[in-house]
Structure 1
Amino acid sequence: MSDPDGIFSAHRPARLAGGFRGQPAVHCPDCSWAQAVDEDLHGDYEGLLFSWHTEHPDEAVDHLAPGLPAGPLAVPGYVRWDQEYGRAVIGDTRTRATVLFNHECLAIFQSVATTGGLDHAATTNARRLGISPGTARPDIVLIATNLYRKGLLRTAQ
């Protein structure tokens, strides 16, 4: 891709030195983009992930900022998800990789896509496990936070 106006040249994505909490991570020192690397979705495809960021600098989100963002969440347009055998099939079009995630992830993607929140996921998981939604919620929030860190969820716009 040519860049006659120098739009993309300002972005130089790279591995984040030391990673993020023991997990590989990438970032762009020229903007706020940062995310953890999912071994299956991004691990062998970092070059594609870097190219995507360089070509989409307007989608720079710091997925490594502390905590899960307040407010509604969304599934980014580059994430494709479906269900198979009650589990989530996640595809990241930035790297063209696909992976099968667990029941909790499926509930989170369904909940976020429907309501922007995690309440439905907590209720669904609680029903599946035979526990209260309040007991299920901390695990759902933790898993959703991990999905957010990997760039598979973002704040709603």
Structure 2
Amino acid sequence: MSEPTGTPSPHRPGRDHTRGFKGQPVVHCTDCSWSQALDEDLHEDWEDVLLAWHAEHPDDAVDHLAPGPPSGPLAIPAYVRWAEQYGRAVVGDDRTRAVVLFNHECLAILHSVIADGDLDGAITANARRLGTSPAKARPDIILIATNLYRKGLLCPAANRQ
């Protein structure tokens, strides 16, 4: 029997046992394109809470594990809270209520994404902090930003919830 017209079908997110991301477990929704890696500090102990959050917020359907690096302008999802503490980023995920301290590079990425939706400011800031060239700082910033994106802590600017 099919769902009545106009009634949204429920979302059934769960762990994806067929794949992982850099040794981290992955969750996804079989009813939409939502997927992400679980951060060991922000999500793993609260996996059920994260899955329930998605079931209650099905409009958040970003595939954080799509092949290739994230492209286009980035944003910080509305469920991510962050602050600066001693030059590092304190990041909280409202979906699980967990909070973790991230490094200088993450802080530079968050500032850069807020300012311009890109990573140029983070690359410049990290190059300055390390006393190196932007070309040498770029790969690390892109790698760290991609990891934040895969964990659902960054999203495409068009999908900012």
Q: TM-score range by the shorter chain?
A: over 0.9
Q: What is the match of residue 138 of structure 1? A: 139
Q: What is the match of residue 16 of structure 1? A: 16
Q: What is the match of residue 97 of structure 2? A: 96
**Partners of 1:114 and 1:136 in 2: how far apart?**
19
Q: What is the match of residue 3 of structure 2? A: none
SS at match of 1:89: strand
- Aligned-pair RMSD on alpha carbons? 1.2
**Partners of 1:70 and 1:15 in 2: how far apart?**
26
Q: What is the match of residue 58 of structure 2? A: 57
SS at match of 1:44: helix
Q: What is the match of residue 66 of structure 1? A: 67
SS at match of 2:19: coil
SS at match of 1:59: coil
Identity across aligned pairs (percent)? 68
- Residue 70 of structure 1: how far off its partner (Å): 1.6
**Partners of 1:63 and 1:102 in 2: how far apart?**
21
Deviations 1:80-104 (A, max 9, x none): 0101010000000000000000000
Unmatched runs of 5 consecutive residues or more in structure 1: none
| TM, length-normalised to structure 2 | 0.91
- Residue 111 of structure 1: how far off its partner (Å): 0.3
Letter in 2 for 1:139: D
- Residue 10 of structure 1: how far off its partner (Å): 2.3
**Partners of 1:89 and 1:47 in 2: how far apart?**
23
SS at match of 1:70: coil
The 8 Å contact of residues 67 and 145 in structure 1, kept in 2 or not, is answered as: no
Map 1:114-133 → 2, pairs under 5 A: 114-133=115-134
Q: How many residues of Structure 1 are paired with residues of Structure 2 in the alignment? A: 152
The 8 Å contact of residues 80 and 91 in structure 1, kept in 2 or not, is answered as: yes
Deviations 1:91-149 (A, max 9, x none): 00000000000000000000001110000000000000000011100110000000000
Note if 1:46 corresponds to 2:47: yes
**Partners of 1:62 and 1:20 in 2: how far apart?**
14
The 8 Å contact of residues 75 and 152 in structure 1, kept in 2 or not, is answered as: yes
The 8 Å contact of residues 11 and 29 in structure 2, kept in 1 or not, is answered as: yes
SS at match of 1:15: strand
Note if 1:113 corresponds to 2:114: yes
| TM, length-normalised to structure 1 | 0.93
